[in-house]
A and B are shown apart, each in its own frame.
Chain A
Amino acid sequence: MSGATAEVEPAVPLGVGQNATVRRVGIGVWTVVLVLLALFPLVVTNPTYTSIGVFTLIFMACANAWNGFSGYSGYISLGNGVFYGTGAYVLTYAALRLNMSGGWGVFWLVPLAGIGAAVVAVPFGFVALRVRRHTFVVITIAIFFVFQLLAFNLSFTGGSSGLTPPTPNWVGATFNDPFYYVAFAVLVFSILLFWGVRRSRFGLHLLAIRDDEDRARGLGVKVLRVKMIGFVLAALVTGMGGAIFAYFVGQIFPQFAYDPVFDVTVALMSFFGGIGTLSGPLLGALLLEPIEQYLTIQYSIGSVYLIIYGVLFLLVIIFMPRGLVPSIGDGMRRIRVNRTQQSAPRAAGPPVEPSRPEVPAIADGGQ
């Protein structure tokens, strides 16, 4: 609860560091958005749009997961594509080995794929998480390419022709819908998971690591374990996203499942929306993915799409370096401060409010 006054001894605060009003607004907004998303395919039946919807939901979940680790801990990973691709391959391989025919049953493999990706994250993380941040980025890229090359070269992954998951046994205009809802389920899971992380002591440790890792270690935080857990959680969700992707698309190749563009895309979405906040990556993905899909469809092999995307990046970086959500937050606060200063000064108002200059993302954009 905010509103601790200077005079009165504050009651033990409940919501740590997060303005309760902002939090309530955030929860409200996102509940509405999720409901709208759930209803979307019932209202908009055009398969082109529901297809965009499927990808959007997948990316929302994956961007959220990316941020859940990299955003909170400051360890920027450009190798989450490893988990995406591994999830894709695990689902496909398992479906083929179990001789599954295309049907709803295949969806049960999605959590399995997530676990597969999480398992991969353990050795990956063990190697990668003990290096400095700059090096960490590069090593994630390197390991990503190792996986891509392994997918090319190993036989059970089908080599360069890849693997084909079973064809779903439903057709028609609503073909996309099951995928949509499974992706939706994964998204909800992802949101709840990382919301829980943010509010847990574990999440606090991640954030502390971002600010001063050595100091955190000196205060008893088991730094490597904390990082590993975060990494594994991100892998879990991303792997599930990759699995849905594989089943949806119907064919996976090494460079398609292990796509370097994926790595940068989830990072970009998180930055665009506001890294380190919960809403940011979700918003970023919600806005950017449809744009990307639309551009790909309109301009197909689009080198034009590359240029537009790049220019968009640069504009965001120059004008909104902290991302949408914090910038909006700043704007709202400025309005609120102006209004407070205009009306008669209230004795109960927290005196510290105007002195918050650059309030970093986590303090206000928690939701």
Chain B
Amino acid sequence: MVNGIVDGVLTGGVYALMAAGLTLIFGVMEVISLAQGIFVILGSYLSYSLETHFGIDLFLGLFITIPALFIVGVGVEWAFLRRLKSEERIAMSILTTYAVFIIIEGILNIVYGTNYLQLHAWYATRSVHVFGLYLPYIYLFGFLLALGLLAVMFAILYRTRFGASVRAAMQDRTAASLVGIDVRRVATITFGIGTATTAAGGIIYGATNSFDANSAEDLISRLLVIIVLGGLGSIGGALAAAVFMLVIEDWVAVVWSPDWSTVIFFVILVIVLSIRPTGLFGRQAARAQ
């Protein structure tokens, strides 16, 4: 049982990273990127190609996949999201990113076929035995990776001038542009960063699950639940929510049954939102919708 909880925490870390990217995008751009799931899978597939064709280790491959996904993110934002007018922004961003989602899904299906794949590495199947627990190496490494990348993200946000611009834009776009922040550029780069985090998620997800392009669906719904639970726009909230949900899911799977563990994910969201409509750490909706 304790093992289950620890596993939950470790996987939670990786989900937290992907969720952080998603909530960051929302916070700055008020865009809900449904494509985040398929970007993760894209990351998985890219890592797969790097591994099978070039023999590059998954983690090393990140040096390629992270920039690659960053560029993809920037490209998508620049080509499509930029044009969205603020009227109906939420809905339009959902549909736009959904369109991107299915296009990439179609392409991946064609390029890689529809068979399930899984990433391989020596650490993917072995565990380290510590404190009487079995910790799969992959989860451990993944957690450390997530921590590392989140630390980098926080460093950027809180230590750099760019990060300050991002935080300003998250608070109030108009005010930010009034003090000279190029909000559009901030938005583009933020979307790139948010997308780039999926590369990391991609290798962990790909190594611990057999995946195909369709897996993106389940993935994005979980990520959405996590960011809403944590409060849209709150990175700390996304972190807490990710770990929380994953731990509960694992616990339910062990204590009750694996079938119901996925349901619990959504049920918890519904319960929490009924009590606290802005999520656990959401900003109070002071302004009108």
Contact = CB atoms under 8 A, between A and B. Distances in A.
When A and B assemble into the complex, do they touch directly, with CB atoms less than 8 Å apart?
yes
Given A134-B32, A267-B91, A303 B106 contact: yes
B273 A135 contact: yes
B141 to A, nearest CB: 30
Interface stretch (B53-61, B93-101, B119-127, B188-196): B93-101
B98 A131 contact: no
A130 B273 CA distance: 9
B266 A146 contact: yes
A127 B273 contact: yes
B94 A311 contact: no
Interface in A115-161: 127-128, 130-135, 137-139, 141-143, 145-146, 149-150, 152-153
Interface residues of B, number: 50
Nearest to A133: B289
B259 A78 contact: no
Interface stretch (B2-10, B65-73, B80-88, B159-167): B80-88
Contact of A213 (B88, B101, B225, B289): B289
Interface stretch (A8-16, A103-111, A312-320): A312-320
A275 interface: yes
Interface of A: 74, 76, 78, 127-128, 130-135, 137-139, 141-143, 145-146, 149-150, 152-153, 212-215, 260, 264, 267-268, 271, 275, 301, 303-307, 309-311, 313-314, 317-318, 321
A268 B91 CA distance: 10
A267 to B, nearest CB: 6
Contact of B270 (A127, A134, A214, A317): A127
Contact of B32 (A138, A146, A267): A138
Contacts of A74: 88, 289
Contacts of A132: 277-278, 285, 289
A139 B278 contact: no
Nearest to A260: B217
Contacts of A214: 288-289
A310 B100 contact: yes
Given A310-B100, A317-B99, 8 more contacts: A127-B273, A133-B90, A139-B269, A139-B270, A149-B263, A303-B106, A306-B105, A307-B106
Contacts of A301: 114
28 contacts: A76-B91, A76-B94, A128-B273, A133-B90, A134-B90, A135-B228, A135-B273, A135-B279, A139-B270, A141-B221, A142-B270, A145-B262, A145-B266, A146-B267, A149-B263, A149-B266, A260-B217, A268-B95, A275-B91, A303-B114, A306-B102, A307-B107, A309-B102, A310-B103, A313-B98, A313-B99, A317-B99, A318-B80
